[in-house]
Amino acid sequence: MQLKPVDLKTMEKNVKNTYEGVIVASRRARQINDDVRKDFSERLKEIAPTTEDDVEEKENPEQLKLSLEFEKKPKPHLVALKEMMDGKIEFRYKDTEVK
């Protein structure tokens, strides 16, 4: 896995401080992760289960292919950080308007 450093000063263009940016990005990453899980579950239901009565589970090539497809997608925290750096995330405090 390749690590890529993130310049946190670029985050401060869109938020008041770094900690605020981390909180906003983490909440966005959770939203992205929930969407990916929901999509994975829906697509997994579409795959016909094997009708064998064996106690031990056998590999289903369709499930394996689907798992590999989702494994290759970018990680939610990286997507959220990129959105934060690009200024694509709108957020607000509970008592103020959208930024």
Q: How far is CA 90 from the centre of its chain?
A: 17
16 located within any domain: yes
Instruction: Report yes or no on 78 lying in a domain.
Output: yes
Residue type, 51: T
* Residue 76 structural domain: 9-47+60-86
Name the pTM for this structure.
0.76
Query: CA 83 → CA 4, 35, 77, 93, distances in Å?
Result: 16, 16, 10, 19
- What's the total number of domains in the chain? 1
Kindly state whether residue 41 falls inside one of the protein's structural domains: yes
The answer to the question of residue 77 being in a domain is: yes
Tens digit of each residue's pLDDT (9 = 90 or more) over 51-85: 555 545 677 888 889 989 999 999 999 999 999 88
In a domain, 71, yes or no: yes
21 occurs within a structural domain: yes
* pLDDT tens digit sequence for 9-34: 787 788 888 888 889 999 999 999 99
Contacts of residue 48, Cβ cutoff 8 Å, sequence gap at least 6:
62
Residues 6+ apart with CB under 8 A from 87: 13, 14
The answer as to whether 38 is a domain residue is: yes
Residue type at 71? E
User: Which pLDDT belongs to residue 7?
Assistant: 79
28 in a structural domain: yes
Pull the structure tokens for residue 81: 């950080």
